[in-house]
Amino acid sequence: MAFYLKPRGKLLGRISQIHTWLYRKTRGRVGHGLIGLRILLLGTVGRKSGQLRVAPLPYFKVDDYLVVIASNAAQRKHPAWYHNLQANPVVEVQVGREQFSARARTLESSERERAWGLVTSKEPRYAHYQGLVERQIPVVALERIEA
């Protein structure tokens, strides 16, 4: 079995802050690729605070949209960004230098299973994470909103 680093709590928050700062400062030249994954910045509006919250997340291309996985590093609860986009599905995305608005939606049934299969074939850590938690890990599509 593979070993996967699962930072939590304050450590995860600090790593995310540094990653986001580097990603923005270098316009994605630093931080877009990390440990074999492609990373985007997902901006959501805090459901309680109303403030912009940004999370660096691995992403995958599925059909004509991007997919992010709400694994929360195999924690029992969904990540805060997932709760935020459920309250307000219009999000801001940065992929490398490119920035755009998108609509987030949680994939269901066969669409979810297809995307989950593609993601876990490329990155088996998510299947490992699913085995560690009782909740079904959400698969979220980010569909570009054309201006």
Model pLDDT, residue 22: 85
Q: What is the mean pLDDT of the chain?
A: 89
In this predicted model, what pLDDT tens digit does every residue of 42-66 receive, in sequence order?
A: 999 999 999 999 999 999 999 899 9
- Please tell me the predicted confidence (pLDDT) of residue 10: 73
Asked whether the predicted pLDDT for residue 1 surpasses 50, the reply is: no
Cα(106)–Cα(15) distance, rounded to whole angstroms?
A: 26
The residue ranges of every structural domain in the chain are 32-144
CATH of 32-144, one of 3.40.50.1820, 2.30.110.10, 2.40.30.130, 3.30.70.600: 2.30.110.10
Does the pTM surpass 0.75? The reply is yes
Measured in degrees and rounded to the nearest 5, phi and psi for residue 131 equal -70, -15
Using pLDDT thresholds of 50, 70 and 90, give the confidence band for residue 3.
very low
* 81-119: pLDDT as tens digits: 999 999 999 999 999 999 999 999 999 999 999 999 999
Quote the CA–CA distance of 42 and 55 in Å, as a whole number. Answer: 5
